[in-house]
Amino acid sequence: AQKVTQAQTEISVVEKEDVTLDCVYETRDTTYYLFWYKQPPSGELVFLIRRNSFDEQNEISGRYSWNFQKSTSSFNFTITASQVVDSAVYFCALHSGGGADGLTFGKGTHLIIQP
Amino acid sequence: DSGVTQTPKHLITATGQRVTLRCSPRSGDLSVYWYQQSLDQGLQFLIQYYNGEERAKGNILERFSAQQFPDLHSELNLSSLELGDSALYFCASSVEIDGPSGNTIYFGEGSWLTVV
């Protein structure tokens, strides 16, 4: 069975602070894919990143960075110099290469950036 | 804009009724997924279609059904609606069937269903 845990239900920081959203996953598959999605107050799910299990390189995209560590089954997401527009619910999701049952989502972390 | 189009965006209906949600996948995407997001259950996978055929089933109720048409658009039919069916229903699409090569799954803006 697959599982994604986002232990942080809600995080509140002041604008310009750095913030890290944690994601821990469980899967027995050796090939799998990890995703992060952003859900702003308007409700849509916005794709942020996909990471393959065989590629442990960390990735940076502007103020966003992701730290993938297979040893600890974690795929954490850091926002540097946060902005009010970053306020949203962020979901980590897992999909295994051997399964065809869609994405398994964590419960999400509600990020509040205060001006 | 993800390229996945869902209609209607909002829907209010009474218990016992039936509704149909429609989804147009991104151009070129053969795989369509349906998800339900509710406050108590979070984001739940319902069903996946690939090129017109059912590929995988998740936590989809028997009162719910879906299909994918030859033009690749998909419909999710919800019948005998109950108050607990009130949720945000997402359609998503990807370019190829899930497999070792993996693919990125893009979501539409969702259809808000309220059952009263």
Question: Are A91 and B43 within 8 A, CB to CB?
Answer: yes
Q: Does A99 touch chain B (CB under 8 A)?
A: yes
- Using an 8 Å CB-CB cutoff, list chain A residues near B30: none
Question: Are A102 and B88 within 8 A, CB to CB?
Answer: no
Q: Does A1 touch chain B (CB under 8 A)?
A: no
Mean local confidence (pLDDT), B4-21: 97
pLDDT tens-digit map of B29-73: 999 999 999 988 899 999 999 999 998 898 899 999 999 999 999
Tell me which residue of A58, A71, A73, A57 sits closest to A2, measured CA to CA: A73
Q: How many other CB atoms are found less than 10 A from the CB of residue A100?
A: 16
**With contact defined as beta carbons under 8 Å apart, do B114 and B11 qualify?**
yes
Mean pLDDT is lowest, of A4-18, A49-63, A75-89, B16-30, for A49-63
Q: Give the type of residue at B110.
A: G
Which tokens hold the place of B57?
């089933």
pLDDT tens-digit map of A39-63: 999 899 999 998 888 888 888 889 9
Tell me which residue of B2, B115, B116, B5 sits closest to B64, measured CA to CA: B115
- Using an 8 Å CB-CB cutoff, list chain A residues near B110: 43-45
- Using an 8 Å CB-CB cutoff, list chain B residues near A33: 102
CB-based contacts of B9, cutoff 8 Å, min separation 6? B109, B110, B111, B112
Residue A49: closest C-alpha in chain B? B104
Q: How many other CB atoms are found less than 10 A from the CB of residue A4?
A: 23
| pLDDT greater than 70 at residue A8 | yes
